[in-house]
Structure 1
């Protein structure tokens, strides 16, 4: 329901600021091949077989529109010959191509969906697509359902996710959820399964859902984790399990009370810490830290806590507010801490040097949270001389000169990562202009 989604997202004050006139979206494409002027560029076919990814934005269509690399030129151009709203015309063309399926090819649709998603990441285009969603959404869903090619399906899933975040509508989950579940379960493509998991998580969080449906979606993701992917015919596919862990963790941030679900979840998560996949281990550890964080909440003004023992003080947050433990997350915490210590100091040669460094850093933070749940990622015990409080989380994301997002809680990190998966390098622009994004993460002005 709309009210539930609003409640889940409203974690801080919403701010509207004048957006920057340009957004650097070059990170979405690594192609440096020379192009003619936008009006003259034409297709030169490239391999469409691999997954549509951050680096996959230069695939050219059958000549009916500009390449995505040229769209970067439109989005960022300071050339006086390029109209400032040229991207709007290109977006309109891409919408027409997506909707008019009879006159399109599989490769052409894949490129149009890719370019459409690319523009929506780099520009907040709600007003430009809202009036066409009645035609646009069924066509995107048809590209997902038919699965004519892996590339078309994966780009359609990505287009669906960014459309959901752009529109901020409470009607999209019901339209897409059944199809997305079927794709996760039935597709023979691992990349389609991954894309469908991420699109389903995005739809459940941003697309309007009841609490019952949200919890049902979480159970679907957790079953994937518990079965090592077997429940969706992807046994031991680490990338599928990681996607399920990521989206399950995102949905956890939307719920206030996790006590009933925590015991079952922890059994599955602790088991996944033994995975041979470092990515699965990392995503699992972050989910565990999130559950510990959720088990502590600030003390209410009129609450008299069941006092800690005489030699134990109630924990404080970074701003000095007292927190109270509401329930026990895991009864074998000593055993869990031992496992986390081992991961924080892993030295096995079977783990790459890069993965080993990531595990050490991540699991040191995770262990810190399990032991002291009010401490988030990258927590520092140093004292801020201006406030007199500890610095706490030192992770920050700069939005503009006056605004930054402090990622001092695991729930904030999960939401940030989810938004970056969908919006990629357009995250900061959407934070400025898209209320659905700015509601997700509280901000601080000028430094704090």
Structure 2
């Protein structure tokens, strides 16, 4: 009976959902079936479940098809969708074989490579072909025949860096990425090239040497409203430059040197006509103040410890103790003007701004103002309630014992293996949002199985 049902399903084409058939990797590669986890040859820690998370919700018919696949796999011991490792190998082989490939073929296999490496942690497999794969992808970035091929290649180099964390990628790729950003007339290429510059700097071996150089370059794009890279007043390009600046800056221990000029540039962008630019600028401003606050707290703690040591030294040597002055780092910036502008954005009611943008501006700038006021991270809520009898198992709570409990941080993310993370700093929030956009539906897989992503969150 099961064999007959399987034969009918195979002949009717219902062994694969429409969503599965529409994936970038669905029309090529092996016809073998997908295992429930990565193959045994994969490194320990890379055994991510084989699933295709999506940014879109499944329709009822897609869900029915998926259920059919699950039943067949569980009853017959056969998988239906296809072995993702075989499909990834096919993608890599086709990317490397440029002599036989067409423009459309390269687009297709680069897109398939990006999709598969997003939704599976394929470190061992990609590393096996790293020395050939990186130059091949860079050729498509440098000499892509059309925008789609170039953009797909820019996304592919990001996934190679995130998957392998190879220190050799930055030296090979950075100048090519910068050239693509400056020479292309296409917005999509400029946006992906800026993102790729940030990714290869952070994950491809450029963090220690040139992170600050990249931040200066991005700040120039912001200050010039995109003119510096021939993208005059281009909202998505300026937004991306702001976003990547924040992502790189969130990994630096010391932001004092960059803070003054950057803060001025970001404050000017609060007057942009693009809501995304305003939000990205405001987020970076919040990050700078958080970094300064953290620096001053640590400096004060070190100062107090030093004073205690000097006091004890003076006592032992029987001499007068002279305290050293403590001078916290203070931004020479018109903070009153800054807070005033943010307050206006938090209550934006102009008819020229869409409802969606108004909601975005209200939520983000209210969060930033609360953060500046209380010295907290994003999304902190001062709302709360007084302790009730139910909190004490029915025991009466007297007025003198009543405690007001704030809701505090309310934003959480959940990983593929069930772990949760509370967003309690701007640094962490910026990293999470950037990597979510870069990894798409594969974000939970990489958070659960990619050590580089885990380390990025742990150090935020």
**TM-score normalized with structure 1 length:** 0.76
Deviation at 1:21, TM superposition (A): 2.8
Distance 1:326 1:156 in 2: 46
The corresponding residue for 2:137 is: 140
Residues 217-226 or 392-401, more deviating = 392-401
The aligned length equals 374
The corresponding residue for 2:379 is: 378
Asked if the contact 1:28/1:424 (under 8 Å) is kept, the reply is: no
Shift in CA distance, 325/406, structure 1 to aligned 2, threshold 3 Å:
farther
The corresponding residue for 2:197 is: 200
Distance 1:378 1:325 in 2: 30
Deviation at 1:400, TM superposition (A): 4.9
Deviation at 1:331, TM superposition (A): 2.4
Match 2:351 to one of 349, 353, 376: 349
The corresponding residue for 2:319 is: none
The corresponding residue for 2:312 is: none
Asked if the contact 1:376/1:392 (under 8 Å) is kept, the reply is: no
Distance 2:327 2:73 in 1: 53
- The structure with more helix, counted as a fraction of residues: 2
Unmatched segments (≥5 aa) in structure 1: 1-15, 38-69, 308-323, 444-448
The corresponding residue for 2:435 is: 419
Match 2:107 to one of 106, 110, 119: 110
1:139-158 equivalences under 5 Å are: 139-158=136-155
Distance 2:433 2:419 in 1: 18
Distance 2:404 2:50 in 1: 39
For 1:107-145, what per-residue CA distance to the aligned partner results, in whole angstroms no more than 9, with x for missing partners? 110010000110000000001110101111111000000
Q: Secondary structure at the match of 2:420?
A: strand
Deviation at 1:389, TM superposition (A): 7.8
Q: Secondary structure at the match of 1:440?
A: helix
Residues 360-369 or 327-336, more deviating = 327-336
Asked if the contact 1:296/1:325 (under 8 Å) is kept, the reply is: no
The corresponding residue for 1:368 is: 370
The corresponding residue for 1:215 is: 212
Unmatched segments (≥5 aa) in structure 2: 1-43, 308-325, 392-402
Shift in CA distance, 210/103, structure 1 to aligned 2, threshold 3 Å:
same
The corresponding residue for 1:9 is: none
The corresponding residue for 1:359 is: 361
For 1:260-318, what per-residue CA distance to the aligned partner results, in whole angstroms no more than 9, with x for missing partners? 111111111111100001110010000100001000124476541999xxxxxxxxxxx
Q: Secondary structure at the match of 1:441?
A: helix
Asked if the contact 1:91/1:119 (under 8 Å) is kept, the reply is: yes
Asked if the contact 1:19/1:432 (under 8 Å) is kept, the reply is: no
Residues 384-393 or 137-146, more deviating = 384-393
Asked if the contact 2:48/2:449 (under 8 Å) is kept, the reply is: no
Shift in CA distance, 400/123, structure 1 to aligned 2, threshold 3 Å:
closer
The corresponding residue for 2:341 is: 339
Shift in CA distance, 125/195, structure 1 to aligned 2, threshold 3 Å:
same
Distance 2:246 2:435 in 1: 13
CA RMSD between the two structures = 3.2
The corresponding residue for 2:457 is: 441
Distance 1:258 1:22 in 2: 40
Distance 1:427 1:299 in 2: 33
Deviation at 1:177, TM superposition (A): 0.5
Shift in CA distance, 187/388, structure 1 to aligned 2, threshold 3 Å:
same
Shift in CA distance, 152/279, structure 1 to aligned 2, threshold 3 Å:
same
Q: Secondary structure at the match of 2:421?
A: strand
Q: Secondary structure at the match of 2:424?
A: coil
Deviation at 1:329, TM superposition (A): 3.3
For 1:71-110, what per-residue CA distance to the aligned partner results, in whole angstroms no more than 9, with x for missing partners? xx99x98784437871111100010000000110001100
Shift in CA distance, 210/21, structure 1 to aligned 2, threshold 3 Å:
closer
Q: Secondary structure at the match of 2:263?
A: helix
The corresponding residue for 1:393 is: 409
Residues 208-217 or 179-188, more deviating = 208-217
Task: Determine which structure has more spread, i.e. the larger CA radius of gyration.
Answer: 2
Asked if the contact 1:184/1:192 (under 8 Å) is kept, the reply is: yes
Shift in CA distance, 335/306, structure 1 to aligned 2, threshold 3 Å:
farther
Asked if the contact 2:416/2:445 (under 8 Å) is kept, the reply is: no
1:409 aligns with 2:409: no
